[in-house]
Structure 1
Amino acid sequence: MTLFYNGEILWEGYIYSGKPLVYDEEERHSWEVIIVLPGVEEIPHGTFNDCCNVETVIMSDTVRRIEHRAFQLCSSLMFVKLSTNLEYIGGWAFYFCDSLTSIFIPPSCGYIDNYAFKGCESLTMLGLPQHVQLNQGLFKGTALIKKSPIEVDEDGEYDEDDEDTVIQWIKSINNGEAYALHRASASYDPLSEIIHALVKRHGIKVMRMPNTIGITPSQYLEANTFVDISEKDIINRYILDMMGETV
């Protein structure tokens, strides 16, 4: 079932002592797709808390804020397309969204609050502009942090004293000339001309070259919610170039 969300308040009170409004628990558990309609600027606190069967969320570009715990415990959530005008992601916003493997943050976003993606145990792919301010514990318990050089326990927890080091590492994953194509493929609105130029320079095999956490440009490009080009397009153009033809 698909919910076309119009911005109404769907949750009242604190998460563990609050209650759903408008829709009962059975109906909330029936949603598989959430489409946030144009005109909605904010997804309020706890709106989709424990909507455990939601798999897809697509936001209109009017959304500017995702408030605290808005998608907490959406354990089936696999695909999220954020607003291109998003400015803020609240604390615990995607807390324990176990099935989420990737998230791509638009450059309009300036701040992501505490523990926003904590417990997203499948999360490995991240598109993150360098200027975004990150608060504490954002990626604790994720597959991403378990690939880091930071000492973590089996649950992906680490000492709070390591927080600055963690943030620096996250923002440096695709730094350096060797990972220019990874950066381009994970970026907001990656330009086909830049990607094509990098592939032409290094050869088509570079699309399958893993970075330090094992992710390839091909994987970033396929998962990136802001792209309008595909690996197939890139390969076809590369082949035509090698044949001396133009597109």
Structure 2
Amino acid sequence: MRLEIVDGLKTLFYDGSDICNEDYEYEIYRMKNLDRDGISEEEWDEDSDTEFFVALRLSDECSTYFQERQSWEQVIVLDWVTVIPEKAFIDCYNIKKVIFANTVTEIKSCAFACCRSLVHFKQSIHLERIEDGAFIGCNLYSMFIPPSCRSIGSNDKYRGVFRCNTNLKILNVPQTTHIYNGCNIIEDTKLFKDFSFQENRPLIPDSFPDFHDEIHNWIKNINHEETCALHRACSSYHPLLEVIYAIIERKGLRAFNDKNIIGVTPPMYLKENPYAEITEAEVIRDYILTQLDEKK
């Protein structure tokens, strides 16, 4: 592995090595569960300077390891890496951006858990599985799952894949992807709080067997209605100009500014999707030029 400054960010070029430190894991567990010695709950709150208390109380070796991990601001995964190991980047509070090589097929449990500054993530187009807790406690706004992905999550209802990503509002999941514990993978996100059929639902959804199936269906078909066809087209993994244009042709340019049931417009989908090669300007320009040609 090597470190360089890329786009102003201290970047780790990750080669697939095991970067977990068992001594560090043990010391953190002991501190959090057995030996706080007067450190209050407020001091351990995620919004406080927890890292200060951690660094202060770790052994010298583990403190150095901790500080090194906190210096990483970007991760670029190298071409030959296929698996991101369990807890590989857990508690790396300052990682803002992650870019996968297209060789990555699996993200193991809690691989990026509590990377609370992580806002940008570019997936591998060959990703097959995302395990439970992989992105719990991050700061993602959007996530686009590739068609190759066979499954998301597990039966662990306490570690949802995208749980506690407070600002997560866009989630695109292919129809063929199997989702485990749907309501848990997006619990404590803006998406979960805002979705339309949540009103009048019980506070403990696990007691209703159909709830998970219903939310799985909802996640995969957020824009299933014809009135939201444009949103669905823009949130696909590879938006196509001709598909978007055909919908606008039926509905008119106004449809491009209409919000869907979670308050997201097509331009927002295009902006957030790292695989969108088209822009709102292209769509509008082509539409207007076609209209002008038809009027000649």
TM normalised by structure 1 equals 0.90
Matched, 1:150 2:198: yes
Q: CA offset at residue 76 of structure 1? A: 0.7
Return the match for 2:238 from 189, 199, 222: 189
Matched, 1:159 2:159: no
Q: CA offset at residue 181 of structure 1? A: 1.1
Aligned match of 2:172: 127
Instruction: Report the CA distance shift for 1:45/1:152 in structure 2 as closer, same or farther (over 3 A).
Output: farther
SS in structure 1 at match of 2:13:
strand
SS in structure 2 at match of 1:213:
coil
Q: CA offset at residue 30 of structure 1? A: 1.4
How far apart, CA to CA, are the structure 2 residues paired with 1:36 and 1:17? 27
**Runs of 4+ more than 6 Å apart:** 18-21
Mapping for residues 1-247 of structure 1, pairs under 5 Å: 1-13=10-22, 17=26, 24-97=65-138, 99-114=139-154, 115-136=160-181, 137-148=184-195, 149-150=197-198, 158-160=204-206, 161=208, 162-244=211-293
How far apart, CA to CA, are the structure 2 residues paired with 1:14 and 1:70? 18
SS in structure 1 at match of 2:269:
helix
Deviates most, 82-91 or 209-218: 209-218
Q: CA offset at residue 65 of structure 1? A: 0.3
How far apart, CA to CA, are the structure 1 residues paired with 2:200 and 2:102? 37
Larger radius of gyration: 2
Deviates most, 169-178 or 5-14: 5-14
Q: Gaps (5+ residues) in structure 2?
A: 1-9, 29-60, 155-159
Instruction: Report the CA distance shift for 1:240/1:213 in structure 2 as closer, same or farther (over 3 A).
Output: same
Q: Percent identity?
A: 38
1:227 counterpart letter in structure 2: A
How far apart, CA to CA, are the structure 2 residues paired with 1:222 and 1:199? 18
Aligned match of 2:40: none
Instruction: Report the CA distance shift for 1:191/1:96 in structure 2 as closer, same or farther (over 3 A).
Output: same
How far apart, CA to CA, are the structure 2 residues paired with 1:125 and 1:9? 32
Q: Gaps (5+ residues) in structure 1?
A: none
TM normalised by structure 2 equals 0.76
